[in-house]
Structure 1
C-alpha cells in the first residue's frame, strides 16, 4: 500500500508562538459576534473581496465594490466588474462548501471564474509558469499530474491532525505550487485557506485577511518563493500567520473602542499623530508626518481600521475621493488618543 502524501514543512518556534498569539486574540474578539456590528462585518467582506482581487490587478475600489453589491451602476473595466460580481457570489455560497471536497473546490472555481475563463471549474490542460515580469519564477507541475497532486493534497488535508492554522497555510502554499487551474489560482488559494480556517473558528470567515495580504503583496510572493527554494513551506506559514494575527489584532474589541480597549499599534500611532496636529489634515500630509512611504500599506494598516472603529472621520464623508479630503479625530478618537499619550 502506497504511503499517503505528506507536504514538507517544519514547525518552527515562531509558528508555535504565532498560533498561541492568534488563539489568545480570537478568545478576546467579540466584534463580529455582536449583532450591533453587522455593518462592520459587511465592510470587512467588501475589504476581503477588494483586497484579493487587487492582488490580481483588479482596479476597483471598496466604494465601487460596495456599489456593485448594492446593484448600482459602476463605470469601470467590464472584466473588473465581472470579477467582483463573481467574488460576491462565491462568498455568498462560502458556507455551503467543505474544504476537503474536490467537487466543492471545482464549483468554487467555476463561480469565481465564470465568463472569465473557458475552463472555469476544470483543472488546467496545459503547462504553466508563474511569471515575475519577463522571468519565470516557478514552473508548475505538468498538467497530467494535477489531478493526482490535488487528490493527494485534499486527502492529506482531510487526514491531518495538525492545527488548522498550519494545515490551512500548508494547503495554500501547496495549492499555489501545483497551480491547478489555468487562471484564478491566487484568489482560489486565499479563498480556500479562509474556508479551512472558518471551520476551526467562524470569526475568521469574516475578517479581511486578503486586505492585509494586499498591503504586504511583495512579502506574500517572497514567502511563496522562499518556501519553494527551501522545499519547506515554513516561511509561508510564518508569513500567513503573521498576517492573520495582524488582521485579528486590528479587529479586536468593538467597532467603537473605549479607553483601555485594544487597538493596533499602527492605529495608536495614527491617533497620537492626529492629536498632536489638532486640526484636519490631508492623507498625504498625515502619511508624511508618520514617515511612511507605502501609500497602500498606510491606508490598509493605519487609516482604514481607524475609520472603521469610528476613531477618525473624513471632513467630506460624502466625497471620499475628493482631492480636498482631510481627516480628523472624532470625539471618541480624541479621548482615546489623550489616554494613550
Structure 2
C-alpha cells in the first residue's frame, strides 16, 4: 500500500502554483524548448547546479568540455560525477517516476565508479549533511525498501498537482535517504522527471542552478519540514525556485 505523506496546502502554495501555471503558459507561447542551443546551455546549468550542491568543483565550462567528449583537467571524482550525471540526464525522459527499477537504474548511472554497489538501497545508517551540519538522520536501513515502495506507489497514483506532488516526493525521498550516497542529486533529478512528465518544458529549465544559488535555504526548508512533520515549507521553497527559474531570461 502507498502511504499518504503529510503536506498541508498553504495559501502560499496555492498562489505559487497559479503563478507558475501562468509563467508556463508564457514560456510555451515563446516555444523556448525548441531552441536546441538553449536546451544544451540549460542542461549544462542543470548539471552544474545539481553537482555543485554536492560539493563538485567543476565549472560550467569544464562540464561543457566533458559533454563534448573532450579531456578535462580536474579532480577525478568530480569528473566521474559529471560523466555519470550526463548519462543519467540523457536517459531520464524514458523513465517512469513510479517505477522502482527505473529509480534504481538512475542511481546506478549517477553513482557508477563512485560506490561499490550503485543502484542498491543502503544497508546501514545515514545522515543528511548540509552546511557542514547534520540536518537529519535517515530511517533504519531495514525500513528503506518498504518506505520507497510506498512512496513510489503514492507518486504513481496521486491526483495531487504535479508541482506539489514532485516537491512532496523530493522531500520524502530526502527524508528516507534510501542510498548510501547520491540522494540529493537523485531527488532533484526525480522531481524534474515528474515535472517533465507533466510538461516537457521542465526538461529544459535549469531549476537546479537556482537551488544551488539558494543552497542554505534548500537545507533549511528540509530541516524545518522535518521539524514540523510535514513538507509544506519545502514545497513552498521549491515552488519559489521553480517560479524564479521560469521568470529568469533563458539565454
Kindly name which structure, 1 or 2, has the bigger radius of gyration based on alpha carbons.
1
Equivalent in the alignment of 2:90: 92
Q: Aligned residues, how many?
A: 249
Q: Give the secondary-structure state (helix, strand or coil) at the position aligned to 1:136.
A: strand
Separation (CA, whole Å) in 2 of partners of 1:91 and 1:135: 29
5+ residue gaps, structure 2, are none
In structure 2, relative to structure 1, the CA distance for the partners of 1:161 and 1:66 (3 Å cut) is same
C-alpha deviation, 1:33, in angstroms = 3.5
CA-based RMSD = 1.3
C-alpha deviation, 1:55, in angstroms = 0.2
What TM-score do the two structures reach when normalised by structure 1? 0.71
Q: Are the aligned partners of 2:8 and 2:230 in contact in 1 as well (CA < 8 Å)?
A: yes
Q: Give the secondary-structure state (helix, strand or coil) at the position aligned to 1:9.
A: coil
Q: Are the aligned partners of 2:131 and 2:216 in contact in 1 as well (CA < 8 Å)?
A: no
Which structure would you say has the larger RCO, counting Cα contacts within 8 Å and 6 or more residues apart?
2
1:247-258 residue pairs with structure 2 within 5 A? 247-251=245-249
Q: Are the aligned partners of 1:47 and 1:211 in contact in 2 as well (CA < 8 Å)?
A: yes
Give the one of 218, 223, 226 matched to 2:224: 226
Q: Give the secondary-structure state (helix, strand or coil) at the position aligned to 2:32.
A: coil
1:32 matched to 2:32: yes
Q: Are the aligned partners of 1:32 and 1:38 in contact in 2 as well (CA < 8 Å)?
A: no
Equivalent in the alignment of 2:120: 122
Equivalent in the alignment of 2:139: 141
1:249-288 residue pairs with structure 2 within 5 A? 249-251=247-249
Q: Give the secondary-structure state (helix, strand or coil) at the position aligned to 1:119.
A: coil
Equivalent in the alignment of 2:156: 158
Deviations 1:205-239 (A, max 9, x none): 11100000000000000000000000010000000
Equivalent in the alignment of 1:270: none
Q: Give the secondary-structure state (helix, strand or coil) at the position aligned to 2:134.
A: strand
1:177 matched to 2:175: yes
Separation (CA, whole Å) in 2 of partners of 1:134 and 1:92: 31
Deviations 1:274-320 (A, max 9, x none): xxxxxxxxxxxxxxxxxxxxxxxxxxxxxxxxxx3xxxxxxxxxxxx
Give the one of 43, 58, 61 matched to 2:59: 61
**Which protein is richer in helix relative to its size?**
2
Equivalent in the alignment of 2:100: 102
Separation (CA, whole Å) in 2 of partners of 1:33 and 1:178: 33
1:8 matched to 2:35: no
Separation (CA, whole Å) in 2 of partners of 1:64 and 1:45: 13
Separation (CA, whole Å) in 1 of partners of 2:80 and 2:33: 31
Q: Are the aligned partners of 1:119 and 1:182 in contact in 2 as well (CA < 8 Å)?
A: no
Separation (CA, whole Å) in 2 of partners of 1:244 and 1:133: 22
Give the one of 78, 81, 86 matched to 1:80: 78
Separation (CA, whole Å) in 2 of partners of 1:134 and 1:72: 34
Q: Give the secondary-structure state (helix, strand or coil) at the position aligned to 1:127.
A: coil
Query: Which 4+ stretches in 1 moved above 4 angstroms?
Result: 132-135
5+ residue gaps, structure 1, are 256-307, 309-341
Deviations 1:2-56 (A, max 9, x none): x74110111000100100010101001024243xx21111000000000000000
